[in-house]
């Protein structure tokens, strides 16, 4: 039989629940958040967009079709973009049945509901999606977050990061909120020059695990930043990321990663 790879006793890697415990519950719902906390995740990740009436909500795709019953409830409203619906309309949607029948009635959370559900129980990794579709969302995000005591507590405790694939947008947000740590998302392997440039203003470089090698991890650490990799769903890939000494692993299965880390 194959031996289980050993995990060094001194390993400190954050378990980060991708869209909540999205392997076991519908992504980006409060049930997925609560389950992630029950699975002893260190940090919960989410995706943020803005409704027609300016409210911030937790949903990954720019349309509502994959993760809600919007096509049944509002058949005339193709292409069902998040930005074309009010919060009251979005709150009518079932965000759970698509995943499994027992989650029927699950709702799309607001950012405030999501922050309050995480509270002191875990850190917060916040990802505004496609900010180019939402002019001024950096201002809305900053205003909303700072109105929430649970966010301010998490910020003081060093348990908040805002990340984005849109590095120009992220820089604008960082200029507005210099005290909030930020992370640059990469689908491809970041070059050494990109990592060096990021180090002048960002705190994390967060690439796809499949795009990088151990040298990338070393380069990010050489620039005193953290590296959090996504989306790591197999035991083999988890062991690889742990072996490379990444700082955090973003996974749909935080319970699997927690078990690996505990077993050693």
Rounded to a whole number of angstroms, the minimum distance from the CB of residue 125 to Ca ion is: 8
Rounded to a whole number of angstroms, the minimum distance from the CB of residue 208 to ligand G3P is: 8
Rounded to a whole number of angstroms, the minimum distance from the CB of residue 127 to ligand G3P is: 6
- For position 185 contacting ligand G3P by CB under 6 A, the verdict is yes
* Identified binder of ligand G3P from the candidate list 13, 15, 18, 155, rule CB under 6 A: 18
18 is known as an active-site residue: yes
* Identified binder of ligand G3P from the candidate list 126, 202, 250, 261, rule CB under 6 A: 250
- For position 45 contacting ligand G3P by CB under 6 A, the verdict is yes
Q: Which C-beta is closer to ligand G3P: that of 217 or that of 250?
A: 250
From CA 11, how far away is CA 20, in angstroms rounded?
A: 23
Residue nearest Ca ion (C-beta atom): 127
Per annotation, catalytic residue among 18, 39, 221, 223: 18
CB 227 within 8 A of CB 206: yes
Residue 252's binding partner among ligand G3P, Ca ion, none (Cβ under 5 to 8 angstroms by kind) is: none
Q: Which C-beta is closer to Ca ion: that of 20 or that of 190?
A: 20
Residue nearest ligand G3P (C-beta atom): 230
Q: Which C-beta is closer to Ca ion: that of 81 or that of 208?
A: 208
Rounded to a whole number of angstroms, the minimum distance from the CB of residue 72 to Ca ion is: 26
Per annotation, catalytic residue among 39, 60, 167, 221: 60
60 is known as an active-site residue: yes
- For position 186 contacting ligand G3P by CB under 6 A, the verdict is no
CB 118 within 8 A of CB 66: no
Q: List residues with catalytic annotation.
A: 18, 60
């Amino acid at each position: 039989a194959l031996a289980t790879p050993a995990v060094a006793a001194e390993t400190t890697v954050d378990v980060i629940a991708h869209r909540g415990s999205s392997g076991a519950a519908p992504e980006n719902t409060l049930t997925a958040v609560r389950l992630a906390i029950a699975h002893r995740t260190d940090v919960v990740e989410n995706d943020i967009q803005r409704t027609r009436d300016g409210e911030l909500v937790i949903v990954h795709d720019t349309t509502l079709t994959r993760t809600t019953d919007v096509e049944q409830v509002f058949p005339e409203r193709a292409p069902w973009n998040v930005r074309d619906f009010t919060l009251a309309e979005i709150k009518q949607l079932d965000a759970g049945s698509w995943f499994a029948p027992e989650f029927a009635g699950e709702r799309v959370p607001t950012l405030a509901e999501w922050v309050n559900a995480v509270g002191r129980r875990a850190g917060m990794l916040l990802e505004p999606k496609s900010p180019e579709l939402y002019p001024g969302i950096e201002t809305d995000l900053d205003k909303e977050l700072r109105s929430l005591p649970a966010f301010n507590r998490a910020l003081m405790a060093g348990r908040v990061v805002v990340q984005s694939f849109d590095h120009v947008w992220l820089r604008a947000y960082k200029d507005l909120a210099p005290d909030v740590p930020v992370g640059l998302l990469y689908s491809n392997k970041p070059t050494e020059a990109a990592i060096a440039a990021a180090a002048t203003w960002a705190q994390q470089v967060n690439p796809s695990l499949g795009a990088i090698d151990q040298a990338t991890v070393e380069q990010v650490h050489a620039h005193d930043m953290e590296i959090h990799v996504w989306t790591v769903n197999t035991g083999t890939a988890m062991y690889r990321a742990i072996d490379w000494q990444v700082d955090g692993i973003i996974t749909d299965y935080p319970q699997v990663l927690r078990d690996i880390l505990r077993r050693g």
